[in-house]
Structure 1
Amino acid sequence: MVNYNGTLVSQDDAKLTIANRGYKYGDALFETLKVVNGKIFFWEDHYFRLMSSMRILRMDIPMAFTMEFLEAEILKTIEANDLLTSAARVRVNVDRGEGGKYFPSKEANVAFNITAEVHHDPFYTIDETATCLVDLYKDYYVAPGLLSGLKSNNKAIQVIGSIYAQENDFDNCFVLNTNKSIIEALNGNLFLVKGDKIKTPPLEDGCLKGVMRKQVLEILDKDVNVIVEEASISPFELQKADELFITNVIQGIVPVTKYRKKTYSSDFAEKVLNKLNAKLRLLS
């Protein structure tokens, strides 16, 4: 079942028209959520990122779009798909409705839809036997700036970058901005570990304002044994690093195991993951 503007409909009936602005122009935003046993992980951070992104795109935010309202609609969708007592991956999509060309017509009204699917791993874990082989994706570059960091429906680089990774037997790729700085992986934010120094690209470089990125930064901020820096990362720094790891809300923390000829450990990533799970236990 799909939640379309508060009404539950079957997937066969949940069809957007070709006039939908999200389809025609990518005039839409989305949030990907992890929900376990009816608990939305980091819902407040997701909600405020969505509201901030809607303001940046100059969308008229409906008065009904409170945090409590959207949370109730998410849980209603979860329940309708028999996922209330298991783990689920949920997508909340917000678009500007229908009407207009590049300039939206006055009749265009913000709409939302929510979909849910089963997710087989309710916990954040690191599979020590898994590999994560990465390379640089250099066919296209991202312009630095906050607009590039929105979780919008314009994901062309992520799509063709994923195809490139699959064709070349990589598990992931790093995306660069026009200054040739690494900003993120195809599906998450990047952290680099070198001794007691931790680096992650700043939002101004064009990386996603990741919800899991925020959680990890908060955890690291409380660790007096490390120095955390939000600064540009050059490709030359990758082979000098002790560890690289990727973060997103669905997987949590994914250690990079190999970049070109350099292999990496995951000791620090595992420590951060343990602290993340401890934080979740306190929130539940």
Structure 2
Amino acid sequence: MINFNEQILESDSKLSIYSRGFNYGDALFETIKTPYGKVLFWEDHYFRLMASMRIMRMEIPMNFTMEFLEDQIKKTLAANKLEQASARVKLLVQRNEGGLYLPDNNTVDFIITAQIIQEDFYLFKDEFYEVDLFKDYYISPTLLSTLKTNNKAINVVGSIYAKENNLNNCLVLNTNKHVIEALNGNVFVLKDNVIKTPPIIDGCLKGVMRKQLIEIVKAIPEYEIVEASISPFELQKADEIFITNVIVGIQPVTKYRKKTFSKEVSKMLLQKLNVKIRLS
């Protein structure tokens, strides 16, 4: 079952072929983890969505309050009998159909979907995980590249490249040849006691889990968090590399080219993340 503008519909319901999200990528989305009906990091997701809608010049409906959208998410979970399970929720907002590149208006539709996932909270990933650079295409660092839009051609092509080369993931570069993110999350690099992550101005996604990790590291006296550009040369000198997103939490990288990495700090951060969730 899906939620389309407050209507619970069958999952195979047909949406208009004139949808602007479908035709022009004129849509934004949030991917949200909901263990047992709890909407994790909802405030951060909500404010990122509102800020993104303003950047995209979408009209924010008067009823798009934090409480209203959270209630719609929970109604979608209930319709799919997922209140007592863990789910991946996708909240998509698209400009209403009409017009070509220039829309007829800036009003929006919303669609909420939910799928069951197995992991209730964040588990430490101890398996082999290899990455490399994806250099076929680069991201231009602008405000638009920091948004979670449904125009994800680089992520799609990069994921195919990773599969063809037996990689678990790839790291994406911007036009300045700086590492900005992974195909499915933000990236952090540890060297000695400094944990480094690319700044938003480099064009990386303004990730919700990225925000959580930055806050967690700031509270640990032994480590320093730095938002600064990362060159590909730094990767082979790193002690640890890990990728973050709201579904997996923290994914340690074990191999980049000929370099292998430890996982102790990422494991410690994951434990602190789970404590933060339990206390929230």
Residue matched to 1:112: 110
Give 1:227 shift: 1.6
Distance in structure 1 (CA, Å) of the matches to 2:22 and 2:225: 40
Residue matched to 2:11: 11
Alpha carbons 1:145, 1:203 under 8 Å: kept: no
Alpha carbons 1:98, 1:109 under 8 Å: kept: no
Q: 2:190 aligns with which of 174, 188, 193?
A: 193
Give 1:109 shift: 2.7
Residue matched to 2:26: 27
The aligned amino acid for 1:218 is E
Q: 1:264 aligns with which of 256, 261, 264?
A: 261
Distance in structure 2 (CA, Å) of the matches to 1:43 and 1:98: 28
Distance in structure 2 (CA, Å) of the matches to 1:140 and 1:18: 29
Distance in structure 2 (CA, Å) of the matches to 1:11 and 1:82: 14
Distance in structure 1 (CA, Å) of the matches to 2:117 and 2:70: 19
The aligned amino acid for 1:6 is E
For these two proteins, the number of residue pairs brought into alignment is 280
Q: Which runs of 4+ in 1 moved over 2 A?
A: none
Alpha carbons 2:180, 2:202 under 8 Å: kept: yes
Alpha carbons 2:87, 2:116 under 8 Å: kept: yes
Q: Deviations over 1:221-246 (max 9, x none)?
A: 11111121100000000000000000
The aligned amino acid for 1:70 is L
TM-score if structure 2 supplies the norm length? 0.99
Residue matched to 1:274: 271
Residue matched to 1:66: 65
Distance in structure 1 (CA, Å) of the matches to 2:190 and 2:142: 24
Q: Deviations over 1:59-117 (max 9, x none)?
A: 000001000000000000001001000100000000001001111103x5300000000
Distance in structure 1 (CA, Å) of the matches to 2:125 and 2:273: 16
Residue matched to 1:125: 123
Distance in structure 2 (CA, Å) of the matches to 1:125 and 1:278: 12
Q: Deviations over 1:8-64 (max 9, x none)?
A: 000122x22121111110000000000011101100000000000000000000001
Residue matched to 2:44: 45
Residue matched to 2:153: 156
Residue matched to 2:144: 147
Distance in structure 2 (CA, Å) of the matches to 1:124 and 1:226: 22
Q: Deviations over 1:160-198 (max 9, x none)?
A: 000000010000000000000000000000000000011
| Structure 2 gaps, min length 5 | none
Distance in structure 2 (CA, Å) of the matches to 1:154 and 1:127: 29
Q: Secondary structure at the match of 1:90?
A: strand
The aligned amino acid for 2:110 is F
Alpha carbons 2:134, 2:171 under 8 Å: kept: yes
Q: Secondary structure at the match of 1:73?
A: helix
Alpha carbons 1:244, 1:264 under 8 Å: kept: yes
The aligned amino acid for 2:40 is F
Give 1:214 shift: 0.2
CA RMSD of aligned residues (A): 0.7
Q: Secondary structure at the match of 2:236?
A: helix
Give 1:126 shift: 1.1
Q: Secondary structure at the match of 1:148?
A: helix
Distance in structure 1 (CA, Å) of the matches to 2:12 and 2:157: 28
Alpha carbons 2:52, 2:147 under 8 Å: kept: yes
Q: Secondary structure at the match of 1:219?
A: helix
Q: Secondary structure at the match of 1:49?
A: helix
Alpha carbons 2:125, 2:252 under 8 Å: kept: no
Residue matched to 1:92: 91
| Structure 1 gaps, min length 5 | none
Identity %: 60
Give 1:127 shift: 2.7
Alpha carbons 1:29, 1:152 under 8 Å: kept: yes
The aligned amino acid for 1:12 is D
